Structure 1
Amino acid sequence: MEMKYLGLEISKLRTEMGMSQKELANNICTQSTISRIEAGEVYPAIDTLLKIALKLQVPVEYFIEMLFHKDVLESERLIKDIEFHLKEHNYKKIISIIKHNKIDSENIWLNLYLEYLLDIAHYYLKIITPEECISSLKSILDFSNQTTIQFRFLHIKISNSIANIYAENGEIPKSLYYYNKILKEHFHKNYSDHKIYETLITVLFNKCNILYELKDYEEALETANLGIKKSKETSFFFLVGQFLYYKGQCLEKMNGAITEIKEVYKQALFFFEFLELPFYISAIKQNKNKYLD
């Protein structure tokens, strides 16, 4: 049994949530017990493990897996490898990785995650139709254990993908329905794990893009401003340059003040350069050069 890995994971999740050992132990056990669990010195009782899981907002199955399976670290490496290729849109590589890695059937969350990514990869490679992909993704949402699928916000990522596919195939009302549903259910909640905001800000950006394409510039501008604000609040700056770019475009369409438009595009360029995003640096210099003097 892998006590050491369980203890390290509890410590990592607790730290990510900004929680002390004393706060985690409150109404569960003593701080000393938490310390010994994190050090891998003792096995937690099942009721203690359940309470810890609830407090750290993860399914208890995740911790149980760490106690009974030795491949937890390998699973984490697999996820990181796949997510790297996902960012590169290398869907053939994703399919190859998944096919060459046999996953224990008891690792329910990882199997759901890989099933989701296979659907996405098959869709973008045109192996399945948009309708088939959406149907499969909805099945994952509808028939999975809700505690399990909420781990690492997989349910939000799947809903966001459904919205994206609707948008890419011209079904804008359905797309906006899913974006708005996600944001309404989650955006204004006070989550202690700020990683969720990375996902929610991505949803907000996708919505902003759709609104701009619909020429609803006022609402697109409002959405862009909200994205900028939330990005700064959560220190998730990866999309702030794109939000600023959309803000500048909306102000142009709405005949905003030239001085404000210039300032917005200069801020966007600053973030593109700071984050070393050559595609966006080139695009803004080429398309908005007159505002960057």
Structure 2
Amino acid sequence: METQVFVQRRKALKISQVKLCQGICTQATLSKFESNRRVPALSILSKLCVRLGMTVDDLYQGESTAVELQTKLDAIERELMVENYQGVLKRLAKIDAKQIDALNSKMQLCYLRGIVNALINRQPDDILFDFSQILNDLDEKHQTIFTQLAFLGSGIMYDRHQQQKQASFYFDKVYQYIRLNQHTALGDENQYYLRVLTLIFFTAEFYTAQQNYRRSNWLIEAGLKICCDERVTYYLPRIKFLAAQNAINLRHDATEIQQLLDETLAFARINRNEVVQVKLAALKCQFKQQCSN
């Protein structure tokens, strides 16, 4: 949506925001729309356009650009899921945030920037600013999954900075969200189940590090079920790796552990996940050392 077309029309007619929105909406609603922060309800937007002698359709001159930007954001999110963080950074650098009008796409961009910066240990201020945009503005009522992803990213950031109390606060929020929504149908929302897998994996990884294997294993099983139901393999190498790691730490049967290690390697090769393959080599050494003791 080309909000600039709307703004230029209003200014050309020398109509103030106060006058334009009178009897239709608050000035704050109009201001958020003109600054590309939030599109109002269609009924409100239609009335505003009528006062300017235009239609809502006049605002969609750049729709093809919006589709192209969304395609790029989705591709970046897939790169994130296979741990290609350098690729994510390079692609994000080419995205012009000013061209993004759709609220969902704005939240997606903030999430992607925030979480990749958390994962590569960048400055907390930059990370929290992106997540604050989601939590305090774009999804201020906390009704979308992007709120949970912002909680997750905040937890990752605090965990990487060894602030476990703060990290636990956010990971526990995500864990409770997954528990409450485990039986909810995933629906057809774009990439929704992949985002749920993102929540599951990193939260399970945190609990493994905290030796809370009960929660970690519950999350692993939930993740494996989604992978099976949705026929996706993006997260299988990482989830299987966690399962093997937990089994080793809990000293499960050697045959079970070996099977998990083999499955991890197989899925890592299928998905060309070199990061997991490197981690797996170290885990195998740990397992061999445990067996020899």
Q: What is the TM-score with the length of structure 2 in the denominator?
A: 0.62
Compared CA separation, residues 78 and 248, structure 1 to 2 (3 A): closer
**Residues 135 and 142 of structure 2 are in contact (CA less than 8 Å); yes or no, is this contact kept in structure 1?**
no
Measured after TM superposition, the shift of residue 158 of structure 1 is: 2.8
CA distance in 2 between partners of 1:94 and 1:121 (Å): 12
**Residues 119 and 157 of structure 2 are in contact (CA less than 8 Å); yes or no, is this contact kept in structure 1?**
no
Larger C-alpha radius of gyration, 1 or 2? 2
Q: Structure 1 residue 162 and structure 2 residue 154: aligned?
A: yes
Of 184, 187, 204, the match for 1:189: 184
**Residues 200 and 223 of structure 2 are in contact (CA less than 8 Å); yes or no, is this contact kept in structure 1?**
yes
Question: 1:268 corresponds to which letter in structure 2?
Answer: T
Q: Structure 1 residue 202 and structure 2 residue 198: aligned?
A: yes
**Residues 245 and 268 of structure 1 are in contact (CA less than 8 Å); yes or no, is this contact kept in structure 2?**
yes
CA distance in 1 between partners of 2:239 and 2:72 (Å): 31
Measured after TM superposition, the shift of residue 183 of structure 1 is: 1.4
* 1:82-117 superposed Cα distances (whole Å, 9 cap, x missing partner): 547755323663564235x7416x544444444554
Identity over the aligned pairs, expressed in percent? 14
Matches within 5 A, 1:38-117: 67-70=60-63, 71-80=65-74, 82-83=76-77, 88-90=84-86, 93-94=90-91, 96-99=93-96, 102-103=98-99, 106-117=101-112
Ranges in structure 2 where 5+ consecutive residues have no aligned partner: 2-41, 44-55, 289-293
Partner of 2:136: 142
* 1:232-253 superposed Cα distances (whole Å, 9 cap, x missing partner): 1221222122222221221222
Question: 1:167 corresponds to which letter in structure 2?
Answer: D
Partner of 1:224: 220
Compared CA separation, residues 82 and 280, structure 1 to 2 (3 A): closer
Measured after TM superposition, the shift of residue 215 of structure 1 is: 1.6
Partner of 1:260: 256
Question: 2:266 corresponds to which letter in structure 1?
Answer: F
Q: What is the TM-score with the length of structure 1 in the denominator?
A: 0.62
Instruction: Give aligned pairs, total.
Output: 227
